[in-house]
Amino acid sequence: MALAMGMTILRAPDQSTKDPLPAIVSSYQISADYRQYTLTIRQGLKWSDGVPLTTEDVRMTWELYADERIYPSFPRKVRTLGRGDGIPGKLTIIDDLTFIITFDASYGQFLAELSSWIPDYTLLFRPAHFIKQFHADHTDMADIQPVLDELQIKGWEKLVILKDMPHWELYREHSIGVPTLTPWIAETVTSSVIRMVRNPYYWKVDIAGNQLPYVDRVESEVSNHLQAIMLKAASGEYDVMTSYAQVREMPLYRLNSERANIKTVLHGSINNPPILFLNHDFDYQTAGSVWQRLVTDPRFGSAIACAIDKEDVNNTLYFGLYTLDGYTKENYDPQTANTLLDQIGMNKLDTNGFRTDPDGNRFELRITTAAISPDFLALGELLKAYFEQVGLRTTLDVIGSQLFGQRMNANQLMATIHWSDEPIWGPGISEDYWPSSKGHWAPMSEQYFATNGDSGRHPPDYLQKFFDLHVARKVVPPQSPEGEALFADLVNWFSRHYATIWPVGRMTVPTVYNADLGNVIKAGYPFDRALDYGMEQLFFRSSK
């Protein structure tokens, strides 16, 4: 079962940011120049320990952000244009419920940040009354020291960092006792299970006035064994499984539906299928790098895209239920792939029948992935076969998830297979297209951008164009007419530079659920996150 988080400041049904509804706030206003955001907290909201939510919680959040003892720098999402060198928004408290955030220049993207579950409500609201008891500027050290001794922590600053948590930490061991605004609060957290209990002060009610959530207790299993998760779902051991279920497993779920008392529903997903990322920063420090010459030549990326039999991927891995749209529009055309590879100088063969690089030396396309999802590995095997059919020697490396992340961060991987949240890029709620987000496609250039040139790679002109487009679209709300035009420019950049190559189109995924469960999303709904972040509405029609 997915953890129920995602309590957003504004509510954006279907991920749309055209006109998001108030959620934790009861109202909001945006100035015509997108510089000033006025928000009023919904009256009567309380933290899970019963303490009222007020603008003091916002003020405390800003205090923590500005304190270099706690935060190395003010978070980018609350800086103008979301830039590392942007000026932090100025907070003005009006009264206990109303506050204003003012930026020094237009920042329309901030509307999407307020609507997104990715920063969540914790972007603006941290429980001041709770954090102050560990903060030496607010509490005497004589009262803090016993807590430091018990937790074996040196320095109150580290204690504040431990207790001041963004939403993705709210179901970890050190979250026990931390006030939240989520429907359930952590009761037990181990390496194998997370047990949660109802938040007695949760702020949502149904249309009849009944307080949510309907379910009193939630238990979530922690596991990296995907096969075991699938088998447990098929045997009815989970009441809900979304995000991890895949179309290829549907025969198993349908076969066991009556015996295990489970049902399935097919719907869309926020994710792409796994896609191929070509690292445009790989080997950039090597003079005359062959990879740099290839990856910056659009003909190489186009050849890769043409070599992929998208219908075969769809039919082999996804029962033909995925669409065939994408940011690289090439159809399966191995003849064109061969022609393009010949044109860029890869027209000679080595003794094993594979193409050499343009200098006549051995060439190997190395694709690396991790067993994050079963189709990552299956797709990798298909890509290897497709690319070798057009003469590109290809190696698929499957490594552990932790090592995979480390090597991506260290810019050690030529090409990777990973997901990306493309369908929600347009509304601005996700920026998974970012060069160091999922499959890294320019991590060192991103580092240069993030550090204002202090480290990383000075981006070549075509990569700098990407960053310029990224910043430009943040000036206005992402789904304003101007914002949608700017997003189209960004999509066009991806279609010309092959940082990401789609093997197939958008996903269809199943949710597996207890047949007695009510308020599950309907078939065809565009996004699986509608259930993940709306679980407080689930209820059992009868006891198990």
pLDDT at 1: 40
pLDDT at 291: 98
- Tell me the pLDDT tens digit for each residue of 76-120: 999 999 988 899 999 999 999 999 999 999 999 999 999 998 888
Burial class of 453 by CB neighbour count within 10 A (0 to 12, 13 to 18, 19+): exposed
Spatial contact of 413 and 423, defined as CB atoms under 8 Å apart: no
pLDDT at 5: 58
- Assign a CATH topology to domain 275-501: Dipeptide-binding Protein; domain 3 (3.10.105)
pLDDT at 6: 59
The rounded Cα 118 to chain-centroid distance in angstroms is: 7
pLDDT at 170: 82
Query: Which residue type sits at 371?
Result: A
Three-state SS at 379: helix
| Nearest to 250, CA basis, from 221, 229, 224, 230 | 230
Contacts of 212 (CB under 8 A, 6+ apart): 183, 202, 204, 205, 206, 536, 537
Whole-number Å distance between alpha carbons of 379 and 383: 6
pLDDT at 42: 96
List of the chain residues with pLDDT < 70:
1-6, 326-328, 543-544
What are the φ/ψ torsions at residue 405 (nearest 5 degrees)? -65, -40
pLDDT at 451: 87
Q: Is the pTM of this model over 0.95?
A: no
pLDDT at 223: 80
Q: Locate CATH 3.90.76.10 in the chain.
A: 10-132
Cα dist. 537→23, 298, 491 in Å? 15, 48, 36
Spatial contact of 296 and 460, defined as CB atoms under 8 Å apart: yes
In terms of DSSP bridges, do strands 10-11 and 21-22 run parallel, antiparallel, or are they unpaired?
A: antiparallel
pLDDT at 2: 43
Whole-number Å distance between alpha carbons of 390 and 411: 27
- Tell me the pLDDT tens digit for each residue of 183-225: 999 999 998 899 999 999 999 999 999 999 999 999 988 887 7
pLDDT at 524: 86
- Tell me the pLDDT tens digit for each residue of 266-303: 998 888 889 999 999 999 999 999 999 999 999 999 99
Three-state SS at 369: strand
CATH code that applies to domain 10-132: 3.90.76.10
Q: Locate CATH 3.10.105.10 in the chain.
A: 275-501
